[in-house]
Structure 1
């Protein structure tokens, strides 16, 4: 696809392959492990936009993987304000207990219609690293990546300007989409509203709008409908002091 085209470009790949693609970007998977991932994704469920996948304080009973669509993890304040911590993209895992007490520390809500695979059985296999070493390593790396992204988010909120925050978030999302087959530098899906970006970055909607317009005027990004192109991803990364989380694969 030419850089100026408006439709997101993706490697020709079925949606149920996205979990395998995400996991294998962290560690090589054997043929057996790849087959297991395919079976896990064989009968996905469809969920509408605005649906809670789990709620803060509740028991995590339905671990899963996003195969299509976007979601986010957040906390709601008593007055209705919300803080979005991170975004769940196709191929991402969610709802897996990490401690002795399997309670959700955040809520997760779908931002678009999504397709979900149940990963309870896969989670049990990950606990057998001798039998499934590739899955175990990939799973651990995926959890480490999520933690690294949260640390990046703390830096964004605590020390960066609005311009840097938005640039940093866009570059991070671009790299994560590149891992599952979207070409960094071409149009990629970007279904985030300015309100959602504001709730993630601690900014007003007006501030987000002005900053996005500035990035467009500077020819650093191009936006069309629900898609985005990073025209100069390296420049944006330098502006935002963006660093790939340790262990993350490089774009390309």
Structure 2
């Protein structure tokens, strides 16, 4: 009887500690790439429902938004210079890592969650890139290099104060979609914290697609590769002949 009472009390306390829920709304679930596409920004709104909460929070809410693009394997190579020649000295392979990654939080992540919690739930760029994805001996130098290269390419971003609370229970954040974003599905994960404790977690998604002439060309290349190749070759010959006619000397 005593054990049952303790178990019931523990369940009640766990439910009370995580009584909050979230409702998310994304400004668009589809990003269309055209010939004039230079990047996009999606706005995500969230409402924290704490009506069922039976305990008073002593700490304010914190929110971490993570938007990850399609996953792929990536190889990072270390180069050394021998005289005038650059050579590959070593390489590491990251398996199944996001091609694009954006993490937006209400304040620095190190102030929101402990190192163990960040590693467990993938908070922070270092934690998302799991060292178990290496195919060789783990070396953090290559993970740091991967993050640096992706940042320089505009594919990995982090903003420590990008989540804004409009009211104590309503927040918004801007999710950037870079100009070089690959096509495919993107996952958006939103985690709610208070006092270093994870209270709730919800997710949504959006898709990056091509439309217009670009989509027609890409679809033709996939569905009719032979005709597409022949048309490309004929266009090259035609443009070459036209150039000789225009620039020839009489």
- TM bracket, shorter-chain basis: under 0.3
Larger helix fraction of residues: 1
**Superposition TM-score, scaled by structure 2 size:** 0.22
**Larger Rg: 1 or 2?**
2
Greater relative contact order, per chain length (Cα 8 Å cut-off, separation 6+): 2
